[in-house]
C-alpha cells in the first residue's frame, strides 16, 4: 500500500513538473485541441485506435470515455490520459489492465509534450494474439496518441473564471453589452422576469468586467465554484 502511494506521488510530481516545463508562461491563456481526431497504429496483429478530444471537466471526460467504450465494446483495453483546467493541475493516466506505466503515462506524455490542457486521449486496443512486452506497449500507446494529436490543430484560448449573474430583464441589453465587450462566454442562461446567466469571464479582463457589470443597477454577481 505504501509502495502504491509513493508511486502515485512520484507520478504527480513528474507529471506536474513536465507540464510546467511545457506549458506557456502566460497564466491568462492555455492551449487545447480544436476538434476530435482519431488515428490507429498496428503492431504484430494488435490494433491501437487513439481518439483525442477537448474536455473541460472530469464529467465531460467520463462521458467521452463512456461513448468510446460504447463504440469499441470488444476492445481488450481502453487506456487513457487527460489534463484539465487552465493551470493543467487536474490530470489522470490509466493503464486499464495493461502493465503498470506502459499505457497511461506514454499517452499523458504526448499531451504534455504539446503543452495541452482540457485535452483527453483514449487509446483502445484490440489484442492480436502476440504479447508486445512493456517496451512495445509504450511505443504503441505513445505512437497512437501522438498520431491522433497531430491530426487536430492546437488553439490558444483565454482562461475564464466562472460567475453567475442575476438581474431584472429590463437591464438585459446592458448586461449583454458588458459580456460582449470583454469577450465573455455565456455558459447557461435562464430568461425570465428575473434572469440568471452563468458566464465565463476572461481572467485578463476579470476586474474590468466585474466593475462594468457591477455598475448596472440591480445586477447581483457571484463567483461560481
Which pLDDT score is estimated for 87?
Answer: 85
Which pLDDT score is estimated for 23?
Answer: 52
Q: Are 103 and 79 in contact (CB under 8 A)?
A: yes
N- to C-terminal Cα separation, the chain:
33
Residue 221 CB neighbour total at 10 angstroms: 16
Q: Which domains does the chain have, with CATH numbers?
A: 2-156 (3.30.230.30), 159-223 (3.30.70.260)
Which pLDDT score is estimated for 5?
Answer: 38
Mean pLDDT by 10 residues, the chain (225 residues): 44 47 71 97 97 95 98 97 92 97 98 97 96 97 98 95 95 96 94 93 96 96 89
26: exposed, middle or buried (C-beta count within 10 Å: 0-12, 13-18, 19+)?
exposed
Strands 29-33, 77-84: pairing is unpaired
pTM, two decimal places: 0.80
Q: Are 118 and 56 in contact (CB under 8 A)?
A: yes
* Closest to 121 (Cα-Cα) out of 107, 134, 101: 107
Cell of residue 1, nine digits: 500500500
Which pLDDT score is estimated for 141?
Answer: 98
Amino acid at each position: 500500500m505504501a509502495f502504491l502511494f509513493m508511486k502515485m506521488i512520484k507520478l504527480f510530481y513528474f507529471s506536474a513538473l513536465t507540464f510546467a516545463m511545457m506549458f506557456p508562461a502566460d497564466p491568462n491563456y492555455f492551449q487545447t485541441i480544436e476538434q476530435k481526431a482519431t488515428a490507429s497504429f498496428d503492431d504484430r496483429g494488435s490494433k491501437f485506435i487513439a481518439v483525442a478530444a477537448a474536455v473541460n471537466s472530469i464529467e465531460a471526460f467520463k462521458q467521452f470515455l463512456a461513448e468510446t467504450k460504447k463504440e469499441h465494446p470488444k476492445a481488450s483495453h481502453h487506456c487513457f490520459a487527460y489534463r484539465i483546467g487552465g493551470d493543467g493541475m487536474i490530470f489522470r493516466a490509466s493503464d486499464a489492465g495493461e502493465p503498470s506505466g506502459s499505457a497511461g503515462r506514454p499517452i499523458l506524455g504526448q499531451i504534455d509534450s504539446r503543452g495541452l490542457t482540457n485535452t483527453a486521449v483514449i487509446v483502445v486496443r484490440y489484442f492480436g494474439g502476440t504479447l508486445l512486452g512493456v517496451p512495445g506497449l509504450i511505443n504503441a500507446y505513445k505512437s497512437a496518441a501522438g498520431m491522433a494529436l497531430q491530426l487536430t490543430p492546437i488553439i490558444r484560448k483565454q482562461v475564464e473564471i466562472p460567475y453567475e449573474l442575476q438581474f431584472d430583464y429590463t437591464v438585459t441589453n446592458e448586461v449583454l453589452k458588458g459580456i460582449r465587450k470583454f469577450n465573455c462566454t455565456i455558459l447557461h442562461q435562464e430568461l425570465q422576469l428575473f434572469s440568471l446567466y452563468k458566464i465565463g469571464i476572461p481572467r485578463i479582463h476579470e476586474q474590468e468586467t466585474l466593475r462594468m457589470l457591477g455598475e448596472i443597477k440591480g445586477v447581483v454577481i457571484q463567483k461560481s465554484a
